[in-house]
Amino acid sequence: MNTPLKIKICGITNRDDAQAAIDAGADALGFNLFPGSRRHVPLSALTPFLPSIKALRVALMVNPTVEEIRDASPYFDVIQLHGQETAELSARAAALAPIWKAFPLGETLDEATVAPYQAQSILIDTSLPGAFGGTGVLIDLDKAARFVASCPARQIWLSGGLTPENVALAIQKVRPYGVDVSSGVEFPGDPRRKAPARLQAFVAAARSAAALD
Could you say which of 77, 125, 142, 213 is catalytic?
125
| First CA to last CA distance, the chain | 6
* Cross-strand pairs, 59: 31, 79
Q: Are 87 and 117 spatial neighbours (Cβ–Cβ below 8 Å)? A: yes
- Catalytic one of 10, 23, 110, 151: 10
Identify the CA nearest to 174 among candidates 207, 198, 141.
141
Active site residue 10: yes
- Report H helices in the chain: 15-24, 43-46, 66-72, 87-94, 111-114, 141-150, 167-174, 196-211
Cβ–Cβ < 8 Å for 60, 52: no
**Catalytic positions, please?**
10, 125
